[in-house]
Structure 1
Amino acid sequence: MKNQRFIKSVVAASKAETPAMPWARGARRQAFIAKRKGAGLAKVA
């Protein structure tokens, strides 16, 4: 029961013709990465 959502997502991804690659997730992920990198630089400085 605990892993039911995970299992459903794995089955759905396996049925897809081309699974989504982590580097192709779109603008939302790029914005998050940019924010994270900017925050990391602010902490170091």
Structure 2
Amino acid sequence: MSSQTRFIKSIVAASKAEAPELPWARGARRAAFIAKRNGVLLKKVA
């Protein structure tokens, strides 16, 4: 199997395995970073 065929097969397998995280679905850590950057205070939960 050539390296290009192996590469293509790995790309196809990775695309079927999981969908990449979208920027707006990354959770509390990202929301806190964006709020800090925008100068907004967030209420801590936990």
Q: What is the TM-score when the length of structure 2 is the normalising length?
A: 0.46
Q: What is the TM-score when the length of structure 1 is the normalising length?
A: 0.47
Structure with more of its chain in helix, by fraction = 1
Larger radius of gyration: 2
